[in-house]
């Protein structure tokens, strides 16, 4: 398998507590991989190490063969990596359109000097940002709400908004931390459809999720964590038939 993202022996200790212990796996280009496990298993800590929000105690992450560990968070965006968070990170007092336009800075070519003097490059960058943002919002069904305040949206619409901001600059790797959390069955199905559509266009996904039916539907492979350790990795079928995983994490409903 082409190691598009290569997670190598990541470990994170907080004092005497080991939150993630020697976790390794590789994600292939164009693949959808899920990370599952009970609360406290270390999933978000793992995500935060991969996306450089926290530094690992040991181990490293490679992306397209380049070492990610130690880079600044904004540098990952320039490399084509985006992520969402468990808790929504939207600007409630800004419009829906403005929220997503904030995510286009990676591709638009402007700086403080050109913005201050309103140089022609700024007008062109703003037009490109509008085009990209409105296109992403249309894709997630928010095209008619561009000028609404983000804080006025329903929770499900805010999740769509955060997803639109994560995909607006066409990142190659999209990391989603519990994208279905708080969504009803219909909204969950819609979100899963967005992931499937983008996978067809070549995007790769790494996501944390608790809704097992959705994980089994959209993931190509699954990594299972327990108390910070990787206890299983495989296809949905292999995970469903892993007796330890079934008894400890999935239960009878997932079979």
184: in domain: yes
* Domain total in the chain: 2
Least confident residue range of 67-71, 144-148, 196-200, 241-245: 241-245
Could you tell me which residue, 116 or 220, shows the higher pLDDT? 220
| Same-domain pairing of 144 and 179 | no
Q: Are residues 76 and 175 in the same domain?
A: yes
Distance CA 25, CA 227 (A): 17
Element (DSSP H or E) covering residue 81? strand 81-83
Answer whether residue 212 is part of any domain.
yes
Same domain, 246 and 187: yes
164, 181: one domain: no
Nearest one of 3, 63, 60, 65 to 29, comparing CA atoms? 3
Residues 100 and 217 in one domain: no
Of 130, 155, 170, at which residue does a domain stop?
A: 170
Q: If DSSP codes are grouped into helix, strand and coil, which group holds residue 208?
A: strand
Per-residue pLDDT at 107: 55
Q: 166 lies in a domain?
A: yes
142-176: pLDDT as tens digits: 999 999 999 999 999 999 999 999 999 899 999 99
Determine the pLDDT at residue 224.
Answer: 94
Q: Is residue 252 part of a domain?
A: yes
- From 118, 140, 170, the end of a domain falls on 170
Residue 85 lies in a domain: no
Q: What is the mean pLDDT of the segment spanning 228-236?
A: 94
Give the integer Cα–Cα distance in Å for 251 and 247.
6
| Residue 247 sits in the same domain as residue 236 | yes
Q: Are residues 103 and 163 in the same domain?
A: yes
- Choosing from 170, 205, 227, the residue where a domain stops is 170
- Do 13 and 60 lie in one domain? The reply is yes
Whichever domain contains 8, its CATH number is 3.40.50.300
Instruction: Identify whether residues 94 and 143 lie together within a single domain.
Output: yes
Q: Are residues 254 and 183 part of one domain?
A: yes
Share of the chain above pLDDT 70, in %: 88
Confidence class for position 120, pLDDT limits 50, 70, 90: low
What pLDDT does 149 receive? 96
End-to-end CA distance of the chain: 28
> Residues near 187 by Cβ (< 8 Å), separated by ≥ 6?
156, 159, 180
pLDDT 10s digits, 9-49:
999 999 999 999 999 999 999 999 999 988 889 999 999 99
CA distance 86 to 223: 18
Range of the domain at 28: 1-80+171-255
> Are 76 and 177 members of one domain?
yes
Interior angle at CA 136, CA 111 and CA 98, nearest 5: 50
Q: Which residue has the higher pLDDT, 102 or 191?
A: 191
| The pLDDT of residue 255 is above 50 | no
Whether residues 66 and 182 fall in one domain? yes
Q: What is the mean pLDDT of the chain?
A: 88
């Amino acid at each position: 398998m082409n190691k598009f993202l290569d997670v190598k022996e990541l470990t994170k200790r907080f004092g005497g507590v080991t939150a993630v212990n020697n976790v390794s796996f590789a994600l292939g280009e164009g693949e959808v991989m899920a990370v599952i496990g009970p609360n406290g298993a270390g999933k978000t800590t793992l995500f935060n190490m991969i996306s450089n929000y926290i530094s690992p105690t040991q181990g490293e992450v490679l992306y397209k063969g380049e070492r990610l560990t130690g880079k600044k968070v904004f540098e990952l965006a320039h490399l084509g990596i985006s992520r969402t968070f468990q808790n929504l990170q939207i600007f409630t007092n800004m419009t829906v359109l403005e929220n997503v336009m904030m995510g286009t800075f990676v591709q638009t070519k402007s700086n403080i000097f050109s913005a201050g003097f309103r140089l022609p490059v700024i007008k062109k960058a703003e037009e490109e940002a509008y085009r990209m943002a409105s296109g992403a919002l249309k894709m997630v069904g928010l095209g008619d709400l561009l000028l609404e305040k983000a804080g006025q949206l329903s929770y499900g619409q805010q999740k769509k908004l955060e997803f639109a901001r994560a995909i607006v600059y066409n990142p190659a790797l999209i990391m989603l931390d519990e994208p279905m959390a708080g969504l009803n069955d219909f909204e969950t199905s819609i979100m899963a459809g967005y992931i499937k559509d983008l996978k067809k266009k070549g995007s790769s996904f790494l996501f944390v999720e608790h809704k097992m039916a959705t994980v089994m539907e959209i993931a190509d492979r699954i990594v299972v964590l327990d108390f910070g350790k990787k206890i299983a990795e495989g296809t949905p079928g292999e995970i469903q038939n892993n007796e330890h995983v079934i008894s400890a994490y999935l239960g009878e409903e997932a079979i």
